[in-house]
């Protein structure tokens, strides 16, 4: 997973942020404005041009599986990302003498270069379903809680690369778009938790609902497998103050925001460049300083231990 902010070609998957990207592939061209994603399958020649100047975005590269739409299960036929909204390029080719054209190839985890005197985009036509494609995130139809509790973020999965273990993904691409929050008497931001998946978060624009300060567009956070995390103190206290009051059941709309998450069953290894980056937030842990307990022990008149349903023993804590 990489954060990009350079004038160069982008590997595999990019979430555009500022100017448009012009991506040329062997199947044709794609113009990608901010708020769209691109998926380029393994083995394709492609080039990225920046017609409007420098751009920035996020990239994830996966091995061993292909992205697909998640199973909708009880949701049924409609909702989340629809197949009809994914666009593939129209066939286009370039027949030109291009002396000194450099091909960059990744093999075995290393980069190699080769020089040729013709364009690699001299493919006249294509057919089949192994093709590059793009998707406008504004077409995503989110599902959410309409009574109580906070839904697992997997309900916002746009694309998934599954493993052979049901319910565990090599990579889920999840977004947090503008939407309504309507849960009753519920702590609406993400709850405090740790789980078996590693979560790489990024903010494309706006403010993220669980971190009021310090998480800026273009930034990223990583919570690896079984690392506890949750809303910052400011968000927590502001939400707790509404519970029990007239605003507890008032629908609110999250607008002007778009965040995403790469969620994986694998544990990412952080490269030295990131660990030594001057942009690294060394005070990140301080966002949880000042958290206070709001438990009311014995409020129901009982000082005995609470009982737990056997169905809840394996749930996320």
CB 149 within 8 A of CB 181: no
- Rounded distance, CA 34 to CA 275, Å? 28
- Rounded distance, CA 248 to CA 241, Å? 9
Residue 12 annotated as binding? no
CB 4 within 8 A of CB 56: yes
Picking from 292, 207, 19, the residue whose alpha carbon sits closest to that of residue 10 is 19
Residue 66 annotated as binding? no
- Rounded distance, CA 88 to CA 310, Å? 48
Contacts of 35 (CB under 8 A, 6+ apart): 16, 136, 137, 138, 204, 258
Residue 208 annotated as binding? yes
- Rounded distance, CA 33 to CA 132, Å? 16
Which one from 12, 97, 127, 150 is the annotated catalytic residue? 150
* 150 in active site: yes
Picking from 29, 28, 3, 30, the residue whose alpha carbon sits closest to that of residue 15 is 3
Residue 229 annotated as binding? yes
The secondary structure of residue 153, as a DSSP letter, is G
Picking from 176, 138, 139, 181, the residue whose alpha carbon sits closest to that of residue 157 is 176
- Rounded distance, CA 173 to CA 156, Å? 8
* Residue positions forming the annotated binding site for homogentisate: 208, 229
* Residue positions forming the annotated binding site: 193, 199, 208, 229
Positions marked active-site = 150
* Residue positions forming the annotated binding site for Fe cation: 193, 199, 229
């Amino acid at each position: 997973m990489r954060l990009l902010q350079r004038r160069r070609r982008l590997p595999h998957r990019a979430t555009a942020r500022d100017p448009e990207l012009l991506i040329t592939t062997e199947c044709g061209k794609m113009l990608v404005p901010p708020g769209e994603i691109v998926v380029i399958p393994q083995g394709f020649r492609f080039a990225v041009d920046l017609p409007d100047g420098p751009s920035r975005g996020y990239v994830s590269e996966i091995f061993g599986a292909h992205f697909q739409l998640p199973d909708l299960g009880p949701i049924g036929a409609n909702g989340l990302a629809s197949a009809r909204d994914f666009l593939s390029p129209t066939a286009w080719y370039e027949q030109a003498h291009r002396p000194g054209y450099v091909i960059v190839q990744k093999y075995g985890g290393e980069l190699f270069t080769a020089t040729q005197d013709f364009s690699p985009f001299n493919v006249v036509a294509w057919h089949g379903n192994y093709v590059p494609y793009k998707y406008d995130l504004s077409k995503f139809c989110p599902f959410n809680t309409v009574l109580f509790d906070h839904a697992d973020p997997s309900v916002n999965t746009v694309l998934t690369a599954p493993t052979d273990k049901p319910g565990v993904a090599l990579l889920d691409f999840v977004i947090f778009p503008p939407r309504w929050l309507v849960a009753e008497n519920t702590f609406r931001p993400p709850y405090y938790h740790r789980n078996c998946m590693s979560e790489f978060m990024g903010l494309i624009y706006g403010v993220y609902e669980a971190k009021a300060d310090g998480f800026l567009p273009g930034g990223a956070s990583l919570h690896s497998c079984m690392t506890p995390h949750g809303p910052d103190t400011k968000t927590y206290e502001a939400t707790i103050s509404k519970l029990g009051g007239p605003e507890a059941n008032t629908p609110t709309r999250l607008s002007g925001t778009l965040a995403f998450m790469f969620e994986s069953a694998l544990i990412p290894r952080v490269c030295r460049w990131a660990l030594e980056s001057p942009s690294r937030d060394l005070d990140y842990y301080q966002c949880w300083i000042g958290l206070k307990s709001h438990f009311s022990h014995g409020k129901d008149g009982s000082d005995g231990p609470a009982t737990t349903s056997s169905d809840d023993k394996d749930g996320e804590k």
